[in-house]
Amino acid sequence: MKIENRNERNEEQNEAAIGIGAMIVFIALILVAAVASAVIIQTGEKLQQNAQAAGEGTKDSMGTKVFIVNAVRTGGNTVTLTVELAPGSDAVTGANVLWTGVCAGFAIVQGNMNAAAPIDAAGAAAFAVNEVYTVAIDLGANCIALDTTLYIQAGSGGMTYEVLQLAGAAAGDLVV
């Protein structure tokens, strides 16, 4: 009978050793899963931060944009523009709103919109959203009689372009 008791004890010890081994493996798997999930979460957060930074950069580069409401040929070499900022744009000073006119023969004229004034005559130091501005630009003798592509760059924001149909236009004619 004593031999049978030893066999039973050995079997119990073997079962206990197997249980402890399984528990160690289980704990190790939990630790590995925790480390892997931490790496995945950290990677997800980094990707989200990169995407947010890219979105902000895109907004900054494209968000501040000037729309041309209309353009009228006035006297001499001048065209008077009515412009406004695109919705969601940041305020920008008139000195930072640059325009370039390109006409046939690649004649180029350029300037800024520092002289722009709000239509409601409230006066403002900078272009603001929901305000409409008017500004006269001098295209010079080379471009005033030709169709001219007008580019407007607002700070580091997006660029607007419009073809001004000046060929044959008289003073007071709408050219956009």
Instruction: Assign residue 102 the CATH number of its domain.
Output: 2.60.40
Going across the sheet that includes 132-138, the strands are: 66-73, 78-85, 132-138, 117-118
Better-scored residue on pLDDT, 106 or 167: 167
- Each residue's pLDDT tens digit, 85-128: 888 788 888 888 999 999 877 778 899 998 888 887 665 667 88
Looking at the structure of the chain, the number of domains it has is 2
Q: How far apart are CA 80 and CA 78, in angstroms?
A: 7
For the residues of 21-64, what is the DSSP string, one character each? HHHHHHHHHHHHHHHHHHHHHHHHHHHHHHHHHHHHHHHHHHHS
Q: How far apart are CA 76 and CA 166, in angstroms?
A: 12
- The mean pLDDT of 30-54, rounded to a whole number, is 94
User: Does residue 174 form part of some domain?
Assistant: no
> Could you tell me the two tokens for 153?
């760059």
Could you say which of 15, 42, 62 is where a domain stops? 62
Task: Using pLDDT thresholds of 50, 70 and 90, give the confidence band for residue 57.
Answer: confident
CB 135 within 8 A of CB 113: yes
Interstrand relation of 92-93 and 117-118 (parallel, antiparallel or unpaired): unpaired
Residues 95 and 138 in one domain: yes
- Give the residue numbers spanning the domain of 134: 64-164
- Each residue's pLDDT tens digit, 12-24: 677 777 888 889 9
Could you say which of 36, 62, 88 is where a domain stops? 62
Residues 55 and 106 in one domain: no
Residues contacting residue 87 through CB under 8 Å, at least 6 positions apart: 129
User: Does residue 53 form part of some domain?
Assistant: yes
CB 71 within 8 A of CB 136: no
Could you say which of 62, 77, 106 is where a domain stops? 62
Residues 26 and 107 in one domain: no
Residues 78 and 50 in one domain: no
1: pLDDT strictly greater than 50: no
Radius of gyration of the chain (CA): 36
